[in-house]
Amino acid sequence: MLNRRHIRVKVMQTIYAFKGGESDDFKNDEKFLVNSFDDMYHLYLLQLSLLIEVQKRVENQIDKSQLKHLATSEDKDPNKKLVNNEVLQLLRYNRTLGDTIRTYGVDNWELDNEYVDVIYKAILASDIYAEYMKTRTSDFKTDKNFIVDVFKEIIAPNEKLYDYLEDKNLTWLDDLPTVNTTILKLLRKIKPDVADSYFTPKLYKDLDDKAFGVSLFKKTILSQTKLNAEIDNKAKNWEADRIAQIDYILMQMAVCELNNFPSIPVKVTINEYLEIAKEYSTPKSSIFINGILDKLVKEYQEKGTLNKVGRGLM
């Protein structure tokens, strides 16, 4: 779920928020970084559990309708296709998912249940729902396609939900596209006999990813003076105050990565930071950063100080 580029972005954000220097204690900032990794999984569980709460909301509405004093024939014999949706049933009664949700303390929809109603009403008002409910019977494929469409077309782009998530945790806005993509992939590939652990994928694709993020943060912070000197030496035609702070941080991280992570190819490092710059900095930042890094890489190669292990890493 959490890839290396996303880890680099979180390191960049943590360094940007860091107000100290090389000699200062940054344990709290390191803790913030690690927590931001875990917060991404919290967001994943939060988004996935919203589907469960919608299913509960439908079930509750049916129960209330049947208890009406003047219940209509439809109230007495409602179309239970949605509440019996096989994918929603798998989600609701998945023991591992339920345990993980409780472990992470994901109880937002109990406290802020008005957002469950927002999604519930949006579903009921949609053409997706109208088409799905034309019949009373269904099969697993139809149920799955309906839930995929609901998540993709109604939940993921919902502006009220987006504002809610932004208010709860600012870093979630950067996590949301990755989390939603992960959920969509899981929903599209789901089968009736999925393993109990299907809905609880690993946060890190590789065991070394978390260590990479923490190490990149620490090594960058501890070497900022040296890193800035190298960058400034290659940016003599630019006044320091004209260089965007994000650009400085991205170049610090890139130079640190070039010199301290021998298993990461030079091209991978440069391309990763150029892509991050395109998304988080000014329109011309990637061109500027590419120019500085290219000069530094050539200098390291000439001096023989670019230590890369393995074939094709230069």
| DSSP state for residue 154 in the 8-state scheme | I
- Chain-centre distance for alpha carbon 286: 23
| Average pLDDT of the residues in 278-295 | 92
Query: pLDDT value at position 277?
Result: 95
Residue keyed to tokens 């209330």: 64
Residue 136 has pLDDT above 70, yes or no: yes
Residue 99 has pLDDT above 50, yes or no: yes
The residue with greater pLDDT, 53 or 235, is 53
Mean pLDDT for the chain? 90
Can you read off the two tokens belonging to residue 90? 């798998």
Query: pLDDT value at position 70?
Result: 63
Q: Which amino acid is at 122?
A: A
Can you read off the two tokens belonging to residue 80? 């239970």
| DSSP state for residue 262 in the 8-state scheme | T
Residue 200 has pLDDT above 80, yes or no: yes
Q: Count other C-beta atoms under 10 Å from residue 17's C-beta.
A: 10
Residue 51 has pLDDT above 50, yes or no: yes
The Cα–Cα gap between 61 and 55 comes to: 10
What percentage of the chain reaches a pLDDT higher than 70?
91
Residue keyed to tokens 């992570």: 261
| Average pLDDT of the residues in 145-160 | 97
Can you read off the two tokens belonging to residue 87? 């994918």
Q: Count other C-beta atoms under 10 Å from residue 138's C-beta.
A: 17
Can you read off the two tokens belonging to residue 209? 């990813």
Please provide the size of the chain in residues. Answer: 314
Query: pLDDT value at position 1?
Result: 86
Q: What are phi and psi of 82, to 5 degrees?
A: -70, -45
What are the tens digits of pLDDT across the range 105-120? 999 999 999 999 999 9
What are the tens digits of pLDDT across the range 68-88? 656 676 656 577 899 999 999
Residue 313 has pLDDT above 90, yes or no: no
What are the tens digits of pLDDT across the range 12-49? 999 998 887 776 788 999 999 999 999 999 999 999 99
Contact 146, 132 (CB under 8 A): yes
Query: pLDDT value at position 236?
Result: 74
Query: pLDDT value at position 312?
Result: 46
What are the tens digits of pLDDT across the range 223-274? 999 999 999 888 876 655 567 889 999 999 999 999 999 999 999 999 999 9
- Chain-centre distance for alpha carbon 129: 28
Query: pLDDT value at position 48?
Result: 96
The Cα–Cα gap between 293 and 112 comes to: 47
Query: pLDDT value at position 158?
Result: 97
Query: pLDDT value at position 205?
Result: 86
Query: pLDDT value at position 65?
Result: 63
pLDDT tier for residue 67 given thresholds of 50, 70 and 90? low
Query: pLDDT value at position 61?
Result: 83
Contact 190, 87 (CB under 8 A): yes
Query: pLDDT value at position 26?
Result: 86
The Cα–Cα gap between 34 and 29 comes to: 9
Residue 290: Cβ-neighbour burial (10 angstroms; 0-12, 13-18, 19+): middle
The Cα–Cα gap between 143 and 79 comes to: 14
Q: What are phi and psi of 204, to 5 degrees?
A: -105, 135
Model confidence pTM above 0.85: yes
Comparing CA positions, the residue from 4, 29, 33 lying closest to residue 18 is 29
Can you read off the two tokens belonging to residue 20? 């100290």
Please name every residue paired with 257 in a beta bridge, in sequence order, or none if there are none.
Answer: none
Please name every residue paired with 2 in a beta bridge, in sequence order, or none if there are none.
Answer: 204
Please name every residue paired with 204 in a beta bridge, in sequence order, or none if there are none.
Answer: 2
Q: Which residue ranges form the domains of the chain, and what is each CATH number?
A: 4-189 (no CATH), 207-313 (1.10.940.10)
Query: pLDDT value at position 45?
Result: 97
The Cα–Cα gap between 123 and 129 comes to: 6
Q: What are phi and psi of 2, to 5 degrees?
A: -95, 110
